Amino acid sequence: MTLIPSGADRTADFVVIDVETACSRVSSICQVGIVGFRDGRELFAWETLLDPCDDFHPMNSRIHGIGAHHVAGQPTFAQVHATIDRHLSGAVTVAHSMFDKGALAAACRMHDCAAIDTVWLDSVRVAKRAWPDLPNHKLGSLARYLGVAHRHHDALSDARAAGWVLVRAIEHTGLSLADWMAPAPPAGRAPRAAAAGPLLGERVVIVGEPRDGPLAQAVAAAGGVVRSAVGSTTTLVVIGGDPRFAAWRRTDPQVRKAEQAVAAGQRIAIVDARALDRLRDPARLTSEG
């Protein structure tokens, strides 16, 4: 078991939980990992193996590598319930899919423990909204896409990776944690490009804002065609969003892809969008990229 400083979780913006189970019964939690984040950084981490008070199924053990001999002498869920409750109760709790929410509720019922009062946020939903064009939104795929170190089906590593998915989504879209907690608006489409304007003919990828956001609207109004990902026809990549995250966005996968294309001979301007009026002068944009 890994311990954390008393009270550290109370200063977290959000906490992330992941659990592994011993068998098909979701109450059979055999490992739990919790990570807290504040201001886009990891604040604390806590993990433990648990005696699930249940059988281990070979298939589950093959997935996460945990067997009955690993949990001999480890605490039960009931014995760590107070610690889990201290980290999650009253907090925003993130999990990659709602499996962990269901497993936690089932374990509370099985062990006759009080339900944990927390507000849940599904990082799968976050990822689908932040990066709608990815082929899938599995945690392993997202970790590779975002360059996050990850060991799948290890509870602490999974929790940490899911936390970074949310951090990167906040940075990538400019949406705050409160925005992500609000009901998602209908999926937006990229605005239609105007028939004329100074960006007519430009194929533009926006980094740091949604493809239906204000920056995309400005690009389309100037005649630019907004695309979701860098491709062979891309001519312009505009880095928007909160200026505090501009340096990190320079490492965004779409920016890296554009830089690789430029190195291979494709003409793509990569520019900062701090001032929307710069979008009205494509020649200036190209010279500044």
Q: Please indicate, yes or no, whether residues 232 and 120 belong to a single structural domain of this protein.
A: no
Per the CB < 8 A criterion, the answer to whether 202 and 223 are in contact is: yes
Q: Please indicate, yes or no, whether residues 228 and 170 belong to a single structural domain of this protein.
A: no
Task: Please report, for the domain that includes residue 240, its CATH number.
Answer: 3.40.50.10190
For the chain, the domain total comes to 2
Residue linked to tokens 């109004």: 221
Q: Please indicate, yes or no, whether residues 229 and 156 belong to a single structural domain of this protein.
A: no
Per-residue burial over 245-280, b if 16 or more Cβ lie within 10 Å, else e, is bbeebeebbbbebbeebeeeeeebbbbbbeeeeebe
Burial of 68 per CB tally in 10 Å (0-12, 13-18, 19+): middle
Structure-token pair, residue 68 = 């009955």
Q: For the whole model, what pTM was predicted?
A: 0.67
Per the CB < 8 A criterion, the answer to whether 18 and 156 are in contact is: yes
DSSP string, 29-49: EEEEEEEEEETTEEEEEEEEE
**Structural domain contains residue 112:** yes
Q: Which domain holds residue 116?
A: 8-181
Looking at residues 79-106, what average pLDDT do you find?
96
Q: Please indicate, yes or no, whether residues 113 and 158 belong to a single structural domain of this protein.
A: yes
Structure-token pair, residue 121 = 């946020």
**Structural domain contains residue 189:** no
Reported as a single tens digit per residue, the pLDDT across 58-79 is 999 999 999 999 999 999 999 9
Q: Please indicate, yes or no, whether residues 249 and 153 belong to a single structural domain of this protein.
A: no
Reported as a single tens digit per residue, the pLDDT across 192-243 is 999 999 899 999 998 877 778 888 888 999 999 999 889 999 999 988 876 6
Q: Please indicate, yes or no, whether residues 65 and 124 belong to a single structural domain of this protein.
A: yes
Q: Please indicate, yes or no, whether residues 208 and 161 belong to a single structural domain of this protein.
A: no
pLDDT of residue 281 exceeding 60: no
